[in-house]
Structure 1
Amino acid sequence: MKIISYNVNGIRSASTKNFFGWLQATDADMVCLQEVKAMPEQIPEIIALIEQLGYHHYWFPAEKKGYSGVAILTRIKPLHVEYGCGEEWIDREGRILRADFEDFSLMSLYMPSGSSGDERQVKKYAFMKFFDGYIDELRQAYPNLIISGDYNICHTPIDIHNPKSNANSSGFLPEEREWMDLFLKRGFIDTFRHFTKDPHHYTWWSFRAGSRGKNLGWRIDYHLATEPMLPRLKKVSILPDAVHSDHCPVLLELNV
């Protein structure tokens, strides 16, 4: 089974760069999208393409047009889809969508960024605090859980191209990295690092200064899986050659 997580930085923009030709070639079973920046009713042509590829599709857009929003595309019809998390301000921004299947649940997550200023950094910390309790409770009902998405956090120095100069940058702040430490220690697996220990693997690059060509990036997109999923983990690949966005996709392969 192939599961892709991809912050597309606008599904309409990505679709003009042969996103759907690429997606067809991947033959992915499930796709978690972040930052779709569209409501389904705004993109009938894109919806038609998704359905032609054989996917059921579920959308949780932000109330603000052209902002945030998550989606899940899946060839296997879920038993249940949960839209949002019940926290009003988070749900207004379209950040959490979950699909429950027979033997596991899959969440598409788009954590807030704090890079635009102090106010959003405070919101990011509020999200992180809420998310801890929310996931602790959710895992009681759904122990086999994969949370795929853009966490907007580099966990360790090998996850960022220049840890020293970015020591005070949102996304690599000590408080954010400590949160990721504790989140993993409570029973989650960073599936990419489970298989790959070496540096220079990134999932996001600034549009500035030719950063992508020089591979001056950040690894902020993850598939985190609960520990009971460990026997099913087969392979995880970052796919930097997919260039529909300033992010690139991450592919998780599971044993069926």
Structure 2
Amino acid sequence: MNESQADVVCVQEIKAHLADLGPEHLQPGEYTGYFQAAEKKGYSGVGIYSKTKLLNVTYGLNNHEFDAEGRMITAEFENMIVSSIYFPSGSSSEDRQLAKFRFLEHFATVFEEVEAKTKPVVLCGDWNIAHQEIDLKNWKGNLKNSGFLPEERAWIGDVMNKRGWVDAYRVLYPEETDGCYTWWSNRGQAYAKNVGWRIDYQMVSPTLREHIREVSVYKAKKFSDHAPLIADYDYPL
């Protein structure tokens, strides 16, 4: 974080309660952390680190089922709003896939709320959906798997095509495939062979499209099964 000098850092799947976090987690360097933990220990949870003082923090997405899982936290700055979001995975069971569909359905109300804001918004995090065939290595073998189901792909397509949200990475790299992946399974040699998925996004308000200067997947160091997605905007925070 100190090397990148990012103004805002969004984290997902922190798997910790506030009581589990020490000073090095709560206030590392110049940053102050804000967290929405899951009720269940060692599960889910999201956070936002910021160098700049926030005007307001909103915890959750006004849905008891998913607020109990620590799925969203939103920071309001003077000129911009940033949310850290962790969409459910449906890969473990049919019940979890149904929960994921409920989450997607409820998220329509989240869009309505943030679209009513006068400030531009960045929705940053693990969306657990690969949108296009170029967003994962083995797309043919995953057509019936969670994360690449037709319903999920159609939903995220509607986010952009009907609601007008902008996939920051694809604005600059519309055709990139092998270099776009942000997640690799821990099974086998997925990371070594670059058998990955692009499931982490920064979805931004249309007004930010012209302010996207660079977006990159950071792989110089490996922190987890995900790689950080770093974006630069020439827009005041």
TM class by shorter chain equals over 0.9
User: After the TM superposition, which residues 1-256 of structure 1 pair with which residues of structure 2 at under 5 Å, given as runs?
Assistant: 23-47=1-25, 51-185=27-161, 186-196=163-173, 197-200=175-178, 201-256=180-235
Q: Distance between the aligned counterparts of 1:109 and 1:96, measured in 2?
A: 5
SS at structure 2 position matched to 1:161: coil
1:86, distance to aligned residue in structure 2 (A): 1.2
Aligned to 2:3, the other structure's residue is in SS state helix
Partner Cα distance (2:231, 2:75) in 1: 16
Q: Deviations 1:1-57 (Å, cap 9, x if unpaired)? A: xxxxxxxxxxxxxxxxxxxxxx2211111100000000121121433xx52411121
Aligned equivalents of 2:83 and 2:73: distance in 1? 6
Q: Could you list the runs of 5+ residues in structure 2 that have no partner in the other structure?
A: none
Q: Distance in 1 between matches of 2:23 and 2:75?
A: 24
How far residue 142 of structure 1 moved from its aligned partner, in angstroms, is 4.5
Alpha-carbon distance, 1:138 to partner: 2.3
Q: How many residues align?
A: 232
* Structure-2 separation of matches of 1:89 and 1:181: 25
State whether residues 145 and 225 of structure 1, in contact with CA within 8 Å, keep that contact through their aligned partners in structure 2.
yes
Letter in structure 2 aligned against 1:61: A
More helix by share: 1
Aligned mates of 1:212, 1:41 — CA distance in 2 = 33
CA distance in structure 2 between the aligned counterparts of 1:122 and 1:77, rounded to whole angstroms: 38
- Structure 2 distance, partners of 1:94, 1:123, is 14
CA distance in 2, matches of 1:31, 1:66: 21
* Native 8 Å contact 1:59 1:72 kept in 2: yes
State the one-letter code of the partner of 1:202.
Answer: Y
- Three-state SS of the structure 1 residue aligned to 2:84 is strand
Q: Distance in 2 between matches of 1:95 and 1:148?
A: 12
Q: Which stretch shows the higher mean deviation, 144-153 or 235-244?
A: 235-244
Deviations 1:220-242 (A, max 9, x none): 00000010112221110011233
CA shift, 1:71, in A, is: 0.3
Q: Which has the higher contact order (CA 8 A, sep 6+)?
A: 1
Whole-Å separation in 1 of the counterparts to 2:154 and 2:68: 27
